[in-house]
Structure 1
Amino acid sequence: MPRGWLLAISIGALLLVACSTSSDVAPQSEEAASQSSQQDAAAATDTSNQKNAQDNSTGATRAESPSPTAQPDSVSPPGRVERPAGGRLVRLFSDPPTLDPHITTDSTSAVIVNEVFGGLVTITPDIVIAPDLAEDWDISPDGKVFTFRLRQDAKFHDGRPVVAEDFRWSLERAADPLTESPVADLYLSDVIGVADKLNGKAETIQGLRVIDERTLELTIDAPKSYFLAKLTYPTAFVVDRKNVEGNKNNWVFEPNGTGPFRLERYDIGETILLGRNENYHLGPPFLDEVEFILSGGDPMLMYENDEIHVTGLGLADLERVQDPANPLRNELATAPPGFSVSFIGM
């Protein structure tokens, strides 16, 4: 197929991106594989998708949230850039360890989870906390009570409206010892009562309250400027109770999420196919579909054979691709810096 620019999505290295004038590939867009407002492409790197309050959804390091006295009228959803829509993005990937947002701890799972599910707030490519399913929120003068108001147009993929009770049940599930979330303590324990529930000392979360159908209140143990950033992590995402309880063992293969893409198909070891959610509350994504090839292969060879549309570039191929006589040189892009946290044991 004819080559050109599509989009630059990688983990902060050199990469090749291919494009076509045909309908199987979307036009150039910095957000082409995702909703313009929330996450980068489903094909985007772990950096742009994880929405992790520590690093990095699917995302970059977590932004510091508004101060405890910040007012919700200063918060606005990410702007949507008008771009041509349509086409399919194909990339090489690997099987995610889980598609359950409440037990997601790895960046591979987060790439998919952040496109299928969502939470009260999100983080923009500019590392700013922004509304997602909550249209706005208030923070009490003492910085400990957060009152979220849900969007009226927020819906699950099946069209059912998302209400405050959905978030209450989801957060209770994430903190339930039976869920065995490895990260609920890290991301939710600022909320009063979460630690007690995780330890089996309470059946409900004390600091979690449904005020009405569209209003949810969270009370934390002390003012913390980073609390909202923690809520961008998948542990705080909403899931559909009926969907989860209707098929407890396999619901993640047919999830009823709220994100910009639906999980259309997941064949373990073969492929994951995401389809556009036309009714996404922040505006439908630009791409029709994103295909993840899970069966393995040589990424550089697959790219040159037009089997995938983006790949990283290793040192072994760098000199060859940088040769002015090589047509691939025009497809070479430098990805933006990635963010990560590493620990060295002493």
Structure 2
Amino acid sequence: MLQDDIVTARQLAITYHTAARSASPTDNLTHVVEFILVGFPGKQEIKLLLFFMFFLAYVLTVTENAMIVVLVWTNLQLHKPMYVFLGNLSFLEIWYVSVTVPKVLVSLVTKRQGISFTGCMAQLFFFLALACSECTLLAVMAYDRYVAICNPLHYSVIMDHNLCARLAIGSWMSGFLISTGKVYFISRQTYCGPNMINHFFCDVSPLLKLACTNISVAQLMDFLLALLILLVPLIVIMASYVCIISAVLGIPSAQGRHKALSTCASHLLVVTVFYTASLFIYARPQPIDSFSSYKLVSVVYAVLTPIINPVIYCLRNQEFKIALRKTMGTSCTGRGFVLT
């Protein structure tokens, strides 16, 4: 069945463009202008099942995260640094899944598996930019918890509106800057065939496997930039939690220690899931050989993580529950119903 899908993919419109390299007028290389995303080959029944699973995941992700953004925006009691950063994270997650999942849905129900070279690089750029921004944003959220627990009396002074705005904007800017550097070196490679990407979206490792020129510089820069955007925020997170744990251990009552740690448990779980998958995929000097493992881990951090993040953050958060009841109560009262 895999061979049938590959044969079908080969029958799609695959166009090449011949261009001369500047090194020599006679040194012509064939440049790929369209890639084929292999995605998830298999029987049509399996593809339909995957379609409904991805579609459900996409709808849930957008709905959950949009609800958080609306709640943070419309409820004054949630206008606090922790929730402002969470609103940024939820807004990011909406676009994070929108970069990849719609294309997957189309490819599962149609034969349209092609993506132009420009479209592929654009998808790679925005996916990496949003993923890198999330790394920095998670570090900012850890710093916020550090200030709240270790310096509670000065929290409102330290985490004022201006600092929150700078931290949020800096998180987005750092992600897009790192992505620009990574995609620059990847897009400069020559892709002269084959043009079949053994993945469900354009990602670093499967793209570099198709390059027909020396990729050592691109691999090195990708690895170094990945380490920079992953390890620097991770060090901030780890340092913050070392200080948090030290401060919590100094709290005399068990109830006080539990209350302090409960505000960090959700963030710590999200960080663990996100960084485990991201370090496995990107912080490696060599590409992953097993693309079955690559796809599986990619599904975890590209599709499943954005679904569970809102649940993890909001399920045990009383302020969010109160804000949600208030918002739903106001909405239902306006329609002639009253929540009890």
Query: Normalising by structure 2, what TM-score?
Result: 0.26
Question: Taking CA–CA contacts closer than 8 Å with sequence separation of 6 or more, which of the two structures ends up with the larger relative contact order?
Answer: 1
Whichever structure has more helix as a proportion of its residues is: 2
Whichever structure has more strand as a proportion of its residues is: 1
